[in-house]
Protein backbone atom coordinates (compact mmCIF):
# COMPACT_ATOMS: atom_id res chain seq x y z
CA UNK A 1 0.00 0.00 0.00
CA UNK A 2 1.47 3.28 -1.08
CA UNK A 3 2.73 5.54 1.65
CA UNK A 4 2.75 3.13 4.55
CA UNK A 5 6.02 2.44 6.28
CA UNK A 6 7.71 -0.61 7.68
CA UNK A 7 7.95 -1.33 11.39
CA UNK A 8 11.20 -1.13 13.30
CA UNK A 9 12.36 -4.07 15.42
CA UNK A 10 11.58 -2.05 18.55
CA UNK A 11 8.03 -1.37 17.34
CA UNK A 12 7.52 -5.07 16.62
CA UNK A 13 8.60 -5.92 20.17
CA UNK A 14 6.24 -3.28 21.57
CA UNK A 15 3.25 -4.45 19.58
CA UNK A 16 3.88 -8.10 20.52
CA UNK A 17 3.85 -7.10 24.18
CA UNK A 18 0.40 -5.55 23.65
CA UNK A 19 -1.41 -8.28 21.69
CA UNK A 20 -2.36 -11.92 21.94
CA UNK A 21 -4.50 -14.49 20.18
CA UNK A 22 -5.49 -14.03 16.57
CA UNK A 23 -4.28 -10.41 16.45
CA UNK A 24 -0.81 -11.56 17.46
CA UNK A 25 -1.00 -14.38 14.92
CA UNK A 26 -2.13 -12.00 12.18
CA UNK A 27 0.90 -9.78 12.86
CA UNK A 28 3.23 -12.77 13.14
CA UNK A 29 2.01 -14.26 9.83
CA UNK A 30 2.43 -10.89 8.10
CA UNK A 31 5.95 -10.42 9.42
CA UNK A 32 7.07 -14.05 8.95
CA UNK A 33 5.67 -14.65 5.47
CA UNK A 34 5.13 -11.16 4.06
CA UNK A 35 1.48 -11.81 3.38
CA UNK A 36 -0.92 -9.30 2.00
CA UNK A 37 -3.91 -9.09 4.32
CA UNK A 38 -6.08 -11.05 1.86
CA UNK A 39 -3.43 -13.81 1.70
CA UNK A 40 -3.30 -14.07 5.50
CA UNK A 41 -7.09 -14.14 5.83
CA UNK A 42 -7.28 -16.94 3.24
CA UNK A 43 -5.27 -19.28 5.50
CA UNK A 44 -7.07 -22.13 7.23
CA UNK A 45 -6.24 -24.07 10.37
CA UNK A 46 -5.05 -26.94 8.15
CA UNK A 47 -2.66 -24.62 6.30
CA UNK A 48 -0.80 -23.82 9.53
CA UNK A 49 -0.90 -27.19 11.35
CA UNK A 50 1.95 -28.96 9.61
CA UNK A 51 5.64 -28.27 9.12
CA UNK A 52 5.15 -26.05 6.06
CA UNK A 53 2.69 -23.46 4.80
CA UNK A 54 2.11 -22.57 1.17
CA UNK A 55 1.20 -18.96 0.50
CA UNK A 56 -0.52 -18.29 -2.79
CA UNK A 57 0.25 -14.83 -4.16
CA UNK A 58 -3.10 -13.21 -4.88
CA UNK A 59 -1.96 -10.32 -7.10
CA UNK A 60 -0.51 -12.37 -9.92
CA UNK A 61 2.35 -13.41 -7.69
CA UNK A 62 3.79 -16.83 -7.29
CA UNK A 63 3.03 -19.62 -4.84
CA UNK A 64 5.75 -20.11 -2.20
CA UNK A 65 6.18 -22.75 0.50
CA UNK A 66 7.80 -21.80 3.81
CA UNK A 67 8.62 -23.70 7.00
CA UNK A 68 6.48 -22.89 10.01
CA UNK A 69 8.79 -21.72 12.82
CA UNK A 70 8.09 -22.73 16.43
CA UNK A 71 6.91 -19.23 17.52
CA UNK A 72 4.25 -19.33 14.78
CA UNK A 73 3.20 -22.89 15.73
CA UNK A 74 2.89 -21.84 19.37
CA UNK A 75 0.51 -18.96 18.59
CA UNK A 76 -1.43 -21.10 16.08
CA UNK A 77 -2.06 -23.64 18.87
CA UNK A 78 -3.10 -20.85 21.27
CA UNK A 79 -5.61 -19.51 18.72
CA UNK A 80 -6.99 -23.01 18.03
CA UNK A 81 -7.51 -23.47 21.79
CA UNK A 82 -9.29 -20.10 22.01
CA UNK A 83 -11.60 -21.13 19.16
CA UNK A 84 -12.36 -24.51 20.72
CA UNK A 85 -12.98 -22.93 24.14
CA UNK A 86 -15.47 -20.53 22.51
CA UNK A 87 -17.41 -23.43 20.97
CA UNK A 88 -16.08 -23.33 17.41
CA UNK A 89 -15.81 -26.77 15.82
CA UNK A 90 -12.22 -26.51 14.59
CA UNK A 91 -11.40 -28.57 11.50
CA UNK A 92 -8.71 -28.17 8.83
CA UNK A 93 -10.99 -25.96 6.71
CA UNK A 94 -11.79 -23.56 9.57
CA UNK A 95 -10.46 -20.08 8.76
CA UNK A 96 -7.34 -19.37 10.82
CA UNK A 97 -8.64 -15.85 11.36
CA UNK A 98 -12.28 -16.20 12.39
CA UNK A 99 -14.48 -13.18 12.72
CA UNK A 100 -17.90 -14.10 14.08
CA UNK A 101 -18.15 -17.81 14.82
CA UNK A 102 -16.30 -19.80 12.20
CA UNK A 103 -16.69 -17.19 9.44
CA UNK A 104 -13.49 -15.63 8.08
CA UNK A 105 -12.58 -12.22 9.48
CA UNK A 106 -13.14 -9.37 7.03
CA UNK A 107 -10.31 -7.22 5.71
CA UNK A 108 -11.90 -4.22 7.42
CA UNK A 109 -12.02 -6.01 10.77
CA UNK A 110 -8.40 -7.14 10.41
CA UNK A 111 -7.37 -3.59 9.59
CA UNK A 112 -9.23 -2.24 12.63
CA UNK A 113 -7.63 -4.81 14.93
CA UNK A 114 -4.15 -3.97 13.65
CA UNK A 115 -4.75 -0.21 13.97
CA UNK A 116 -5.87 -0.76 17.56
CA UNK A 117 -2.76 -2.88 18.27
CA UNK A 118 -0.43 -0.29 16.72
CA UNK A 119 -2.10 2.48 18.71
CA UNK A 120 -1.84 0.57 22.00
CA UNK A 121 1.88 0.02 21.29
CA UNK A 122 2.31 3.78 20.65
CA UNK A 123 3.36 3.24 17.04
CA UNK A 124 2.94 6.48 15.13
CA UNK A 125 3.07 7.40 11.48
CA UNK A 126 1.43 5.72 8.54
CA UNK A 127 1.28 2.08 9.56
CA UNK A 128 -1.36 -0.36 8.43
CA UNK A 129 -1.79 -3.97 7.35
CA UNK A 130 0.69 -3.54 4.51
CA UNK A 131 3.39 -2.33 6.91
CA UNK A 132 3.87 -5.97 7.91
CA UNK A 133 4.64 -6.93 4.30
CA UNK A 134 7.03 -3.99 3.93
CA UNK A 135 8.79 -5.05 7.13
CA UNK A 136 9.13 -8.60 5.78
CA UNK A 137 10.52 -7.41 2.44
CA UNK A 138 13.06 -5.23 4.25
CA UNK A 139 14.24 -8.15 6.39
CA UNK A 140 14.52 -10.47 3.39
CA UNK A 141 16.33 -7.85 1.33
CA UNK A 142 18.85 -7.30 4.12
CA UNK A 143 19.21 -11.04 4.91
CA UNK A 144 20.00 -11.80 1.26
CA UNK A 145 22.67 -9.08 1.12
CA UNK A 146 20.37 -6.94 -1.01
CA UNK A 147 19.80 -9.67 -3.59
CA UNK A 148 16.72 -8.36 -5.38
CA UNK A 149 16.12 -11.62 -7.28
CA UNK A 150 15.97 -13.73 -4.13
CA UNK A 151 13.91 -11.02 -2.40
CA UNK A 152 11.37 -11.19 -5.25
CA UNK A 153 11.09 -14.96 -4.84
CA UNK A 154 10.55 -14.77 -1.08
CA UNK A 155 8.05 -11.94 -1.37
CA UNK A 156 6.07 -13.51 -4.22
CA UNK A 157 6.13 -10.36 -6.33
CA UNK A 158 5.26 -11.02 -9.95
CA UNK A 159 8.17 -8.95 -11.20
CA UNK A 160 11.18 -7.00 -10.02
CA UNK A 161 9.45 -3.82 -11.17
CA UNK A 162 6.63 -4.44 -8.71
CA UNK A 163 9.20 -4.96 -5.96
CA UNK A 164 11.15 -1.75 -6.62
CA UNK A 165 8.74 0.37 -4.57
CA UNK A 166 9.50 -1.73 -1.49
CA UNK A 167 13.24 -1.67 -2.03
CA UNK A 168 13.33 2.08 -2.58
CA UNK A 169 11.55 2.64 0.70
CA UNK A 170 13.91 0.43 2.70
CA UNK A 171 17.31 1.50 1.38
CA UNK A 172 19.58 3.09 3.92
CA UNK A 173 19.88 6.73 2.85
CA UNK A 174 22.70 7.26 5.34
CA UNK A 175 25.04 5.83 2.71
CA UNK A 176 25.60 9.37 1.44
CA UNK A 177 27.50 10.08 4.66
CA UNK A 178 30.20 7.71 3.39
CA UNK A 179 30.88 9.82 0.27
CA UNK A 180 34.29 11.46 0.14
CA UNK A 181 34.15 14.57 -2.02
pLDDT digits (tens, 9 = 90+) for 130-174: 889 888 888 888 888 988 888 888 888 777 777 777 765 555 556
What domains are defined for the chain? 9-178 (1.10.443.10)
Tell the burial category of 78 from Cβ atoms under 10 Å away from its Cβ (0-12, 13-18, 19+): middle
Rounded CA separation 77/20 (Å): 12
- Reported pTM: 0.85
Rounded CA separation 88/122 (Å): 33
Rounded CA separation 151/163 (Å): 8
pLDDT tens track for 19-60: 999 999 999 999 999 898 999 999 999 999 999 999 887 665
Amino acid sequence: MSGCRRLTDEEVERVFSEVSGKTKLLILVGLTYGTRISEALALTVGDLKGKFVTIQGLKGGQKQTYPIPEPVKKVVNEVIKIYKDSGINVVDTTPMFCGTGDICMSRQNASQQLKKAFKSAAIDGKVNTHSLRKSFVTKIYEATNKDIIRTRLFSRHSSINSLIHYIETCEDTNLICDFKW
